[in-house]
Chains A and B, each alone.
Chain A
Amino acid sequence: MTGTATPIPPATPVAAQPPAGFARPVRNWIRARRLLLGGIGCAFALVIAVRTLHSGNGAFERAEKLLVEIRQMDARWTVEVLSLELGQMGNYDAITRPVPWLRTAFIQLSEVTRDLPISGIERDRLQSLSRTADSGIAGKTELVERALSQYAILNNSLRFLPTASRDLLQAINSADLSVEKKADAGALLASLLSDTMASFNRDDGAARGRIEATRHALQALVAPVASLTPQAEALFTHTDITVQQRRVGSELLDRIVRLPTTATIDTLRDAYTQAGAVHLRRESLQDDVAVGFGAILLILLAYLGWQLVIDIRRLKDSNVQLKREHEEAQVQLIQSAKMSGLGQMVAGIAHEINTPLAYVKATFSVLQDLLSAQFPEVCAAQPGEEPVVKEKPSAAFLQDIKVLLEDGFYGVAQISNLITSMKNFSRLDRTTFGDFSLPEILEGALTISNYRVKHVADVVKNFEDVPPIRCTPSQIGQVFLNIVSNAAAAMVDRPTRGTLTITMRMEDPKTVRVDISDNGTGIPSHILPRIFDPFFSTKRVGEGTGLGLSICYEIVRNHGGKLLVASEEGVGTTFSLLLPILGATAEATERKLATA
């Protein structure tokens, strides 16, 4: 009976999990140190960031420089405005130009203040102080503008006064007036002119009263003469303008001089200087803290470095030890798996031998029966006693015996065959390494596991010609035995007989591929990645060690090959063995078996 052939999914590689590296406390320590290092890095970055942010980029220096310039410009401006008093007719650009300059300077100061590394309250205080100074400048500008207008008029009138006096004098001289009156008018005119001119330099109430009196006397004198009116009007107008503008002008200049702009600017400068000093103190404190913090970080870093050196040394030691222990453990594993394999084998062999043995026994029993029926005296004879044969054995009797003996030999030959197989397979304690025929190894494994397979499945073999491969045959046999046993176990629960399909072909000119497919229960996909893990088993406790496949994996890897598995639940499982023809090295296998 042959089970229905089921398509087997293509083999996909499932890598074995690497051995779990370090113990948990060691891993925790490594993680903690990594965190600590990250923390130190962050702290350093923070220190640098704080230092950069708080450096202020020389904003204080810029503010101080601006304030010095503002103060100088304001002072120069005052000087220019005061020079109006000197009566120098000229170019007022020097008086006007400081205004836009100062306006721009205060805008710049406000912008610089915005960049200052100070608190919001402090900044508001400075801004408010500088607004005060700025509005002080604005007030001064207004006064200066008015003063300019006044002095322009004043200068004009002053310049015109001599001309106007001369014109009036000429008119008086040619007018219809008495000589006395002409003389009086001339005297009054001279006094008015000199007093008015003088008032430019010395302006006081007395002078103003004198001018007023003279003006009235002169007016009374010339008023009756109509022809003098225009000249007199011109003179009086400009006299009035001179006196009035002089008063207004000097008042304005007085107010300008008394303006507290310089003091306001000085206060402002003091405030900035103070804020700068406070900032400098705070910054140097921050510097100290940052340096101290940096030093602590450096010490911590050095400590960590030292710890790292110690750890590396310790890790190296434990690595060597682990490697040694790992090798010992592996050897022991293989050994224990071997013992388990031997146990299975003994069971298998015993079962296998039983059949031919029973056959031989039956043959011998028939032979004995035949003999005792024909020659009872021979059978009844005591040991050491010569039996008396009454008659010659018949030809038919001899023929029967011959057949029976042949049957017995056949049975013995079968047992002998089995023993040979077992011997081939059990050369475990001999380091055999060389070129061996893969089909022979496979046949041996099949023979040994036959007692398990024959009841559950038919074996279909598709062997192509493959060259011998360099290997340790007992190990490769163990792999086959393991896989075939697993396959048989997987097919036990099938309602019908299963099929174990074994194909052997060349994967490529250097590699032999053996696929062992069953149509058993398959391996659940969540288990599949773990089947090569050591101590992983789905069998009940006592039925398996959980080491079989992990050792298979190890053996194949040692031979430079690959062990792949593909499985689908309810469909079947395929193990694929890829073995390079010249893969294994004597050293690799020898090392594994040195202590086995």
Chain B
Amino acid sequence: MRLDARRDHHRTRRAGFVALLCAVSVIAWEGLLHGQAREPIEPIPLHQDLDPRKVMLGEGLFGDPRLSEDGKVACTSCHLLNRGGADVRPLSIGAEGRAMSVNTLTVFNSALNFPKNWEGNADSLDAQLGMVVHDDRILNTTWPRLIARLSADTALVSKFQKVYPDGVTQATITDALTTYEQSLTTPNAQFDRWLRGDAAALKPDELAGYQLFKGYGCVSCHQGVNVGGNMFQVLGVVGERGAYFTARGHITNADYGRFNVTGAEADRFVFRVPSLRNVALTAPYLHDGSAATLPDVVRIMFKYQLGRTADQHDVDLIVKFLHTLTGEYQGKPLDADDPTRSGQEAARR
């Protein structure tokens, strides 16, 4: 009986190995056959199936300063939806006037990132929300106190009870907020339309910019549906370790990035690659908010990540491509309400 089992086990393993080989071959063949045709970036889905009542509840909470202990900080304090879902300041100011240690990432399409945050210290939107609630620089509160503040509002409680029989609890608040965050995707960008086969969606310059984006190797890290946001990379691939930080000066603890989470030396100066969706709207850039414009950050990337220099023309073309990544929210281009848009356009030309 035991011998049989062992024989079976061997057989299973052998079969598994053969299957693995086959799978690898198939993927290889697919790569060879369609390598040129398949782009490393895919469009954001146009539709999602979310409960609109939960989205509405979450939207209300997202702008509700009662989430914070001092009643002054809401999610929207730092995630400005008319500024690409991020903060215009290099470092956001949260509870009690305390400054964050890294630049605020956009909330748009954050559901498509894995893991979350610059350090990749949250596996899910739920976990990310839990950190925001307790962080003394952001909401600076606890769940029981937050629930107590919201429960004092009978109108809100009855609204909750219509959607969630349990009423206002940690689980329901989290569900409403994360459902709303999942609704914050920006599909139908110019580039997505091009990916979907609309050849006219990109102007020749923008298409040239995309080819350079691929040719220089930006796409190695900025790929996938979110043009990044799915892997880690060290800031400073080429040159001395930490060269970027030495050049910038005054290294802070936040600059150690993922090292702060894992404690592994290999993770020093490592960050999660940010998504480039709507990147034209989310200045300033990098985890330290040190790059004010897209050309600035593109040049930094060239120097420290690609180990190359690019001429001004190529940088301009790449920046033009990056502008095509601005999507739509609720059917409206994300930059429609941006008061600085015309200024940026002018600066770009």
Point out residues on A near B: beta carbons under 8 Å: 75-76, 78-80, 82-83, 86, 88-93, 95-97, 99-100, 103, 142, 145-146, 148-149, 152-153, 155-157, 159-160, 234, 237-238, 241, 262
Contact = CB atoms under 8 A, between A and B. Distances in A.
Contacts of B270: 149
Contact of A93 (B27, B221, B224, B266): B224
B223 A75 contact: no
A75 B16 contact: yes
A93 B231 CA distance: 9
Interface string B59-76: 000000000000000000
Given A75-B16, A79-B24, A89-B40, A103 B31 contact: no
Interface string B212-244: 000101011101110000111110011100000
12 contacts: A76-B23, A89-B219, A90-B31, A91-B224, A96-B224, A99-B114, A148-B232, A152-B221, A152-B231, A160-B307, A237-B238, A241-B237
A86 B26 CA distance: 12
A241 B238 contact: yes
A96 B307 contact: no
A237 B309 CA distance: 13
A241 to B, nearest CB: 7
Nearest to B42: A91
Given A90-B223, A96-B114, A152-B233, A160 B27 contact: no
Nearest to A159: B217
A145 B114 contact: no
B307 A234 contact: yes
9 cross-chain pairs, A with B, having the tightest CB-CB distances, nearest first: A156-B217, A93-B224, A96-B230, A88-B31, A152-B220, A79-B23, A148-B231, A83-B27, A90-B40
Given A86-B28, A100-B124, A237 B307 contact: yes
Contacts of B308: 160, 234
Contacts of B52: none
Interface string B18-45: 0110011001100100010010111000
Given A97-B114, A149-B270, A156-B217, A92 B28 contact: no
Given A79-B23, A86-B31, 17 more contacts: A82-B20, A86-B28, A88-B27, A89-B40, A91-B38, A91-B40, A91-B225, A92-B224, A93-B223, A97-B114, A103-B124, A142-B262, A153-B220, A155-B220, A156-B217, A159-B215, A262-B16
A154 to B, nearest CB: 9
B100 interface: no
Nearest to B113: A96
Nearest to A100: B114
Given A79-B20, A88-B31, A149 B223 contact: no
A3 to B, nearest CB: 79
B123 A100 contact: yes
B306 interface: yes
Contacts of A96: 114, 224, 230-231
Contacts of A155: 217, 220
Contacts of A148: 231-232
Contacts of B115: 99
A93 B224 CA distance: 5
Contacts of A153: 220, 233, 237
Given A78-B20, A93-B225, A149 B234 contact: yes
Given A79-B24, A91-B41, A145 B232 contact: yes
Most central of B42, B120, B124, B219 by chain A CB within 10 Å? B219
Residue of B20, B35, B238 with most partner-chain A CB within 10 A: B238
Nearest to B258: A145
Contact of B307 (A75, A83, A238): A238
Interface in B116-147: 120, 123-124
B16 A90 contact: no
B313 to A, nearest CB: 16
A103 B38 CA distance: 29
A75 B220 contact: no
Contact of B223 (A78, A92, A145, A146): A92
B307 A86 contact: no
B269 to A, nearest CB: 12
Nearest to B12: A266
Given A75-B20, A155-B220, A88 B35 contact: yes
A160 B19 CA distance: 34
Nearest to A86: B28
Contacts of B234: 149
A93 B230 contact: yes
B42 A93 contact: yes
Nearest to B264: A142
B225 to A, nearest CB: 6
B302 to A, nearest CB: 11
Contacts of B27: 79-80, 83, 86, 88
A95 B27 CA distance: 13
Nearest to A80: B27
Contacts of A93: 42, 223-225, 230
Nearest to B231: A148
Nearest to B234: A149
B162 to A, nearest CB: 27
A407 B238 CA distance: 163
B293 to A, nearest CB: 24
Of residues A82, A93, A142, which shows the largest number of chain B Cβ atoms within 10 Å of its Cβ? A93
A153 B237 CA distance: 7
B28 A83 contact: yes
Given A152-B231, A155-B217, A262-B16, A91 B223 contact: yes
A160 B309 CA distance: 12
A157 B307 CA distance: 9
A238 B237 CA distance: 10
A96 B115 CA distance: 9
A92 B233 CA distance: 13
Interface in B256-302: 262, 266, 270
Nearest to A153: B237
Contacts of A262: 16
Given A86-B28, A103-B123, A149 B231 contact: yes
B22 to A, nearest CB: 9
A384 B220 CA distance: 174
Nearest to B220: A152
A83 B35 CA distance: 13
Contacts of A79: 20, 23-24, 27
Contacts of A78: 20
Contacts of A89: 40, 219-220
